[in-house]
Amino acid sequence: MRILIVESSMLLLLTAVTTGCVGSSSVTKQPQALPGSTEQATKATVLTSTPTPTEKTTDNSTPQATTATNPTRCETSQLSVRRVSEDAGVGNVRLTYAFTNNASSPCTLNGYPGLALLDAKGQPLEGVKVIRSQSTYFSSQQPRQQVTLAPGKQASFQIAYNHISSPEKQCPMSSKIQITPPNAYQHFTLTEQIKPCTGKVRVTPVRAVNTQP
């Protein structure tokens, strides 16, 4: 009987020791996440990983190229001038001159050209008055207009005067003339003999030329 009691006690002691070791294990079981918690965690991850949209900016550091829509005024250096025709009738003379655009871009002319008659010494011819007029003996009512000259194109104007002389009066006669494009400062000098016996020379505004003379 004593032997059985001892064995029983040892069996109980061994069982208690084994149970205590298992209960004091340092490995703990992680609780399982609920389905709802897993879905929320996934959503949070997606929201966090979505990049923040950046504001669209426009680079204005480089100016945009612009094209001029209105041609600039013709400068004397862009042009040339020459006499293209001459008419006479009942003592009246009409000389037609044309400006030609020699530049590579268009330009505009508007109004009356400047005109001066010079003597042999290059001085203004005395007793002569230059009159701006829309009409002459040969044409009437040529109102001023803005003419856009493409490269190589022309705009014309007229010089008109009366050359009938009288025995009592000697008519002045030019050796050269100066022609200045409308609204310009520099002029052209041409050798031209103009004899305005009435002392008046009419100049018309520039007009477009449809065909080249």
Residue 5 has pLDDT above 50, yes or no: no
Share of the chain above pLDDT 90, in %: 54
pLDDT higher at 33 or 65: 33
CATH numbers and ranges of domains, the chain: 72-208 (2.60.40)
d(CA 112, CA 183): 8
pLDDT at residue 46, rounded to an integer: 40
pLDDT at residue 69, rounded to an integer: 60
Buried b (16+ CB within 10 A) or exposed e, 49-68: eeeeeeeeeeeeeeeeeeee
pLDDT higher at 96 or 23: 96
Sign of CA dihedral 111, 117, 118, 124: negative
Strands 207-208 and 154-162: antiparallel
Contact 149, 207 (CB under 8 A): no
d(CA 14, CA 184): 125
Contact 116, 178 (CB under 8 A): yes
Give the mean model confidence (pLDDT) for residues 23-48. 41
CB atoms near residue 128 (< 10 Å): 22
Comparing CA positions, the residue from 91, 212, 209 lying closest to residue 157 is 209
pLDDT higher at 135 or 162: 162
Comparing CA positions, the residue from 146, 117, 148 lying closest to residue 131 is 117
pLDDT at residue 210, rounded to an integer: 66
